Chains A and B, each alone.
Chain A
Amino acid sequence: MSSDQNILVKLKDAGFKINDKWLVKGVSLQVEKGKIVTLIGPNGSGKSTTAKIALGIYKKIDGSVEKNTDKIGYVPQKISIDWTLPLRVYDFMLLTENLDEETINNALSLTGVTHLKNKNLGDLSGGEFQRVLLARAISKKPELLVLDEPVQGVDFTGEIALYELIKKISDELNCGILLISHDLHTVMSATDHVVCLNGHVCCSGSPIDVAKNNEYKALFGEQASQILSRYEHRHDHVHTSEGEIKKN
């Protein structure tokens, strides 16, 4: 059961508009310690906006945000870094908090990019950069992690490994995670609570409840609701790259 002390961030009927156009409206959700809340929805449905409201990046909002932690790790969806800055991965890891060498190495090895430590940030590929972003966000042992499409550009096997890592971090650090993903497949597997957005909250609940919801089906198509059942069969085996099926 959820008690109030466990709530890290709570949005109540929150909305944000630019030039009289609502990007998102009437969102209520809460992230608790050790829980993963996932936002899904089509492009332009207000997922990133909701995350930015929760983070306090957007300040002139409707409704209310209640944040009970300062230890936050954020992986933004888009990050434009100006390359007039000479910045190595190592410098980037120290961006918002001073960490010791060992902590940095641990975080980089968790996301599999230790070898990039002294490389210039501008020389990384999209997937490599994404792994560095994730390493930076988890290295400071946050209480709340906000991950906006954290595995974009990462190769398929890496994607699964990173989602498993995210789940592991949530358990180990007992931190709350607000995850944004359009990848229904993975979302439905590791999430405690799903919020389906389309400018407003379409439906929300446990993954199973949401998959059965008619509005969800209307938004993502009939097939999407079968992802869950398909996923549940996957627990006991893996598909190797040769196409074989191996039992765990």
Chain B
Amino acid sequence: MFDDFFIRALVAGLGVAIVTGPLGCFVIWRRLSYFGDTLSHSALLGVTLAYSMEFNIALSVFIISSLIALTLIHLQKRTNLPGDALLGLLAHSSLAVGLVVIGFLTFIRFDIMGLLFGDILAVTAKDIFIIWVGGALILLVLKLIWKSLFASTVNYELAEAEGLNPDRAKAIFTILMAGIIAISIKMVGLLLITGMLIIPAAMARNISDSPQKMVVYSIIGGLLSVILGLFSSLEFNTSSGPSIIAAALFLFILSLFNIKQSIKLKN
């Protein structure tokens, strides 16, 4: 009925959506959307290095993104520049360096569009393995640091005072962000990964009144976006990444009607 590559893309996409759901909630709660952008821009450098050294892409992206994240934390402590300037600096310089490196690698043919916007044709069985195993690992670690991360998201000092070690949770969460970008880059493409994190979670915020509900709705929203997006990608022959994100946007717009209703009820 469906081609193998489509089934593979679907399995991979659903795996990504389950992980981006809860992580996306934290990205919104902790106001990290530009941080997500910075990490995903730096992913290009990771990809080019993987190609040039014939290294696993996901692993290479994970390492480079983690290094960029650690550099950011270091720079935040050492300079007087505001956070957004540092994010922009790292995002664009790592993107530029990545593109320069591509220029040198003339012997390799790059599918730049696929890199930027995702390519379902490129999803292999090995990618699926990496997504599901890596994703399960990310969720497991997130569950372990959940209490501490959530408490410090609500209030850092409360978490610190009551012995929950928020700094450690923050550092681990940063690594998890690098991880999700590494495993989802093939599906969504590096320009749109942050969208996959934010849009389903933003949709969920509109229809939930507790953090747990928001996480569950965010996962459901992500799954629906992947299904809708991939089918329309097949139907209209569009890139997989933009199709998934557009589907997520569609769900977000639907969720806005719920807000209007609840505001009306309050009045």
B161 CB within 8 Å of chain A: yes
Interface size in chain B (residues, C-beta < 8 A): 25
Residues of chain B in range 150-169 having any CB-CB distance to chain A below 8 Å: 150-151, 153-155, 157-164
Q: Are A87 and B205 in contact (CB under 8 A)?
A: no
From A50-58, A184-192, A194-202, A238-246, give the one contacting chain B: A50-58
- CB-CB under 8 A for A87 and B155, given A55-B161, A72-B162, A96-B164: no
Distance between Cα atoms of A181 and B167 in the complex (Å): 30
From B99-107, B186-194, B208-216, B219-227, give the one contacting chain A: B208-216
B67 CB within 8 Å of chain A: no
Closest CB in chain A relative to B215 CB, distance in Å: 10
Chain A residues near B210 (CB-CB < 8 A): 86-88, 90-91
0/1 string, B15-56, CB within 8 A of A gives 1:
000000000000011010000000000000000000000000
Q: Are B208 and A86 in contact (CB under 8 A)?
A: yes
Out of B31, B154, B158, B164, which one reaches A87, CB within 8 Å? B154
Could you pull out 14 A-B pairs where Cβ atoms are within 8 angstroms?
Answer: A55-B160, A72-B163, A73-B162, A74-B162, A82-B29, A84-B29, A85-B29, A85-B153, A86-B205, A86-B209, A86-B213, A96-B162, A96-B164, A120-B209
Q: Which residue of A lies closest to B155 (CB)?
A: A79
Q: Are B158 and A96 in contact (CB under 8 A)?
A: yes
Q: Which residue of B lies closest to A96 (CB)?
A: B162
0/1 string, A116-136, CB within 8 A of B gives 1:
000010000000000000000
Residues of chain A in range 43-78 having any CB-CB distance to chain B below 8 Å: 52, 55-57, 70, 72-74, 76
A163 CB within 8 Å of chain B: no
Q: Are A96 and B151 in contact (CB under 8 A)?
A: yes
Q: Are B153 and A57 in contact (CB under 8 A)?
A: no
Distance between Cα atoms of A62 and B154 in the complex (Å): 29
Distance between Cα atoms of A209 and B157 in the complex (Å): 34
B147 CB within 8 Å of chain A: yes
0/1 string, A86-109, CB within 8 A of B gives 1:
111011100111000000000000
Distance between Cα atoms of A86 and B213 in the complex (Å): 9
Starting from the known contacts A82-B154, A96-B163, 17 additional A-B residue pairs (CB-CB under 8 Å) come to A52-B161, A56-B160, A72-B161, A74-B157, A74-B158, A79-B155, A80-B155, A81-B155, A82-B153, A85-B153, A86-B209, A86-B210, A87-B211, A95-B154, A96-B158, A96-B162, A96-B164
Q: Are A57 and B157 in contact (CB under 8 A)?
A: yes
A146 CB within 8 Å of chain B: yes
Q: Are A76 and B158 in contact (CB under 8 A)?
A: yes
Closest CB in chain B relative to A42 CB, distance in Å: 22
Q: Are B150 and A57 in contact (CB under 8 A)?
A: no
Residues of chain B in range 122-170 having any CB-CB distance to chain A below 8 Å: 147, 150-151, 153-155, 157-164
Q: Which 3 A-B pairs have the closest CB atoms?
A: A74-B161, A55-B161, A96-B162
Q: Which residue of B lies closest to A123 (CB)?
A: B266
Chain A residues near B159 (CB-CB < 8 A): 95-96
